């Protein structure tokens, strides 16, 4: 493999954001015979036609990734880092176009949340590319040395959802690439466009076959998952699909990382500065219109300030505008797609039927062409209600009163999910004690959700398996190899 392109000065051709879309297979961006519509969630008008890849395309992509693997794996990590840094620079150069495209296909506000997503994702790329998994000497004496080494797996299949379609492309591919694997990525059919444009840049940076992107329906994900030449699946999406993927991976004992659904509690302890927490908890819950795996989806508030907190949340929420993502005055955008919108309509019907108290929102204006759902707060519904038990994945959140800390911990843990939680309290040790008792992969104390580059991210229970990010996340893209070296071979 010629590694010179990363070492010399190169000029990456900018992507023509008005041009047609093609899949990325074996270093070439290619058109497909058929295409599918991608809709703007703000009005459900077609914004582009994306390539509808076939099983043959997926075969070609996996074949290319398999052929490219040995030479890519043989490079030093520094050489691979050089490619990734060049890729990052190309992404940065066209950042503003990517932010606009992200807003158009996903629906999130262009000037706040789309901007945030791209600016979170891009710097993460070179930071992660700097990481190195070191070989470890487990034992050494005059006679022998025992080493733990790590080797790349081979072809990594990456499957992503529609809520953060720019960020997830990078979060899934960069750790796989830096550890020496090649990649085939399948984005969500609702949001394939950012991934495809990223692919046009990747095509110019990486050696052919190292980075492949194939777009189409769910069945393509199934083909990727079942493919015998794919060594690992890294999946982000719903728990239901995660279970199918895990079953398919079992057939060839593939490595699998699952980042799945959540129903995260936010717990305001009796000593919480609840007035200060109101806007922070609001954004922890309603950021990205609630379409967020680690969104706060159940807000538990001590009864001593429950009523005041509900009123303050209502007043704050009224200052936030739901609208078209391209309108600079919008704070929250529409829900990404009709499938999710219909699920929310059904949940809203359940809330109405059961006559739960709804101090804000609750009525979807179905005459609007876009997938707009109002900010909705539900006051103290029963613990077994659907809005408490399910993951709404939209802008609707229950606020639940509790009386004592043991009780709230028990209720917070009463879920099949265990992805994240936020805990709010002035006494940090008290908040930490509660954090220790919450069955979830991530807990944030006195603040919204953040993602330090070197911190592992993953879920407990049905929220996932294995982790992404940090050394543990990198290690999940490798095989362990224990090497025992006898220093004095028998004569």
From the list 117, 293, 391, 468, the catalytic residue is 293
Distance (Å, whole) CA 293 – CA 285: 10
Phi, psi of 264 (to 5 degrees): -70, 130
CB-closest chain residue to ligand NAD:
221
Q: Which is nearer to ligand NAD, 238 or 446 (by Cβ)? A: 238
Distance (Å, whole) CA 15 – CA 90: 9
Q: Nearest Cα to 23, choosing from 56, 46, 45? A: 56
Decide: 361 and 341 in contact? Cβ < 8 Å: no
Distance (Å, whole) CA 390 – CA 75: 46
Q: Which is nearer to ligand NAD, 293 or 375 (by Cβ)? A: 293
Respond yes or no: is residue 259 known to be catalytic: yes
Encoded tokens for 355: 């006559």
From the list 259, 390, 391, 407, the catalytic residue is 259
Minimum distance, C-beta of residue 244 to ligand NAD, in the bound complex (Å): 4
Minimum distance, C-beta of residue 307 to ligand NAD, in the bound complex (Å): 31
Distance (Å, whole) CA 252 – CA 272: 50
Encoded tokens for 67: 């052929």
Distance (Å, whole) CA 321 – CA 337: 19
Minimum distance, C-beta of residue 36 to ligand NAD, in the bound complex (Å): 12
Q: Which is nearer to ligand NAD, 106 or 478 (by Cβ)? A: 106
Q: Point out which residues bind ligand NAD (CB under 6 A).
A: 159-163, 186, 188-189, 218, 221-222, 225, 236-238, 241, 244-245, 259-262, 293, 391, 393, 419, 459, 464
Minimum distance, C-beta of residue 210 to ligand NAD, in the bound complex (Å): 21
Residue given tokens 């629906």 in the structure block: 107
Q: Which is nearer to ligand NAD, 199 or 261 (by Cβ)? A: 261
Q: Which is nearer to ligand NAD, 189 or 209 (by Cβ)? A: 189
Minimum distance, C-beta of residue 172 to ligand NAD, in the bound complex (Å): 10
Integer angstrom CA distances of residue 220 from 20, 30, 223: 21, 17, 5
Beta strand 182-186 with 155-159: parallel, antiparallel or unpaired? parallel
Query: Which contiguous run of DSSP H or E holds residue 48?
Result: strand 46-51
Hey, which residues are catalytic here?
A: 259, 293
């Amino acid at each position: 493999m010629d590694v010179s392109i990363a070492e010399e000065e190169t000029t990456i051709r900018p992507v023509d954001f008005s041009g047609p879309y093609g899949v990325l297979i074996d270093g070439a961006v290619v058109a497909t015979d058929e295409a599918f519509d991608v809709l703007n969630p703000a009005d459900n008008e077609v914004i582009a036609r994306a390539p509808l890849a076939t099983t043959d395309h997926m075969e070609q992509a996996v074949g290319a990734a398999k052929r490219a693997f040995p030479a890519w794996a043989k490079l030093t990590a520094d050489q691979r880092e050089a490619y990734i840094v060049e890729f990052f620079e190309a992404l940065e150069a066209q950042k503003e176009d990517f932010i606009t495209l992200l807003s158009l296909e996903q629906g999130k506000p262009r000037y706040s949340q789309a901007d945030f997503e791209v600016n979170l994702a891009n710097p993460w790329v070179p930071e992660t590319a700097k990481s190195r998994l070191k070989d470890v000497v487990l034992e050494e004496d005059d006679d022998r040395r025992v080493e733990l080494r790590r080797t790349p797996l081979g072809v990594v299949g990456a499957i992503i959802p529609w809520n953060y379609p720019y960020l997830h492309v990078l979060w899934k591919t960069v750790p796989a690439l830096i550890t020496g694997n090649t990649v085939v990525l399948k984005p969500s059919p609702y949001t394939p466009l950012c991934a495809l444009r990223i692919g046009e840049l990747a095509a110019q940076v990486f050696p052919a076959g190292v980075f492949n992107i194939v777009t189409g329906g769910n069945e393509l994900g199934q083909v990727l998952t079942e493919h015998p030449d794919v060594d690992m699946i890294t999946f982000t999406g719903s728990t239901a699909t995660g279970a199918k993927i895990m079953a398919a991976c079992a057939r060839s004992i593939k490595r699998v990382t699952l980042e799945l659904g959540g129903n995260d509690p936010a717990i305001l302890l009796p000593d919480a500065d609840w007035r200060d927490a109101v806007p922070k908890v609001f954004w922890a819950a309603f950021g990205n219109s609630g379409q967020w795996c680690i969104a706060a989806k159940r807000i538990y508030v001590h009864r001593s300030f429950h009523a005041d907190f509900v009123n303050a949340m209502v007043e704050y929420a009224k200052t936030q505008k739901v609208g078209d993502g391209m309108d600079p005055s919008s704070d929250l955008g529409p829900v990404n797609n009709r499938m999710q919108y219909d699920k929310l309509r059904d949940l809203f019907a359940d809330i109405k039927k059961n006559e739960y108290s709804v101090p804000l929102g609750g009525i979807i204006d179905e005459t609007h062409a876009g997938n707009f759902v109002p900010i909705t707060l539900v006051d103290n519904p029963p613990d077994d209600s659907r809005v408490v038990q399910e993951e709404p994945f939209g802008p609707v959140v229950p606020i639940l009163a509790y009386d004592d800390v043991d009780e709230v911990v028990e209720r917070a843990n009463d879920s099949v999910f265990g992805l994240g939680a936020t805990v709010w309290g002035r006494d940090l040790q008290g908040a930490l004690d509660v954090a220790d008792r919450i069955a979830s992969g991530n807990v944030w104390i006195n603040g919204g959700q953040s993602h330090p580059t070197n911190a592992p991210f993953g879920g407990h229970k049905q929220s996932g398996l294995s982790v992404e990010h940090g050394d543990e996340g990198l290690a999940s893209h490798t095989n362990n190899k224990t090497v025992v070296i006898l220093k004095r071979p028998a004569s």
